[in-house]
Amino acid sequence: MQMSDTAPADIARAEGLLGQVSPDTALAHWAKGQLLREQHQYADAIPEYEAAIALDRNATAAYASLGQCKLLTGSLEEVVPLVQQAIRLSPRDPSLGYWYDLIGLTHLLQSRTEEAIVWLEKARTASPARPFIRGHLAAAYGIKGESGRAAVELAEARRLSRVPDHYSSIARWKAVAQFSFGVPKIRALSEATFFAGLRKAGVPEK
């Protein structure tokens, strides 16, 4: 779901539209899950995505979104199989870069840095213009000690962002990073891996 600069109005309108459709369809459950996810209500979104999948085993986007919510609620072991199912169902999907990135982030949080880099590089190839992928890769390279590569990716994240100061400091990263809205376990893991990598890449605290 892409939100505009008027997110509260968008959410209110989406809630109104949801009330006009049949609640017993995969699309309706997926849409409700998307709305809850945008409101950072990840635990509440999970049963909606699961209901969408139960009604339609080919609900590709529901698998990926469910994977993201599983990550942010701390069920890391469930993330990769869900996202890989989305990839199997739609191997040329426009969201492929995002899905690769999600797998890479899961590995990064689990301190599987080499595996994280493999998937994040795939994400960069699939979606070279997405700044957050570049930032995630910068952190992974930072953790690995490849400061030159980390600096290149960090510079690209800043160049590609519509709001460059999002990537100017750890404080700004925390304001926009999806980890910051996760459960305490995920926030702790992101501090030990992702943000540690950004610090090693040269990102200042403030």
Give the global pTM. 0.90
Residue 24 has a pLDDT of: 85
Residue 99 has a pLDDT of: 98
Q: For residue range 30-70, list pLDDT tens digits in order.
A: 999 999 999 999 999 999 999 999 999 999 999 999 999 99
- By three-state DSSP, how is residue 157 classified? helix
Contact 145, 179 (CB under 8 A): no
- Of residues 114 and 178, more confidently modeled: 114
Residue 96 has a pLDDT of: 97
Q: Domains in the chain and their CATH numbers?
A: 8-93 (1.25.40.10), 94-206 (1.25.40.10)
Residue 200 has a pLDDT of: 95
CA dist., res. 136 & res. 24, Å (int): 37
- Of residues 105 and 24, more confidently modeled: 105
CA dist., res. 87 & res. 60, Å (int): 8
Residue 195 has a pLDDT of: 97
Q: For residue range 123-133, list pLDDT tens digits in order.
A: 999 999 999 99
Residue 169 has a pLDDT of: 94
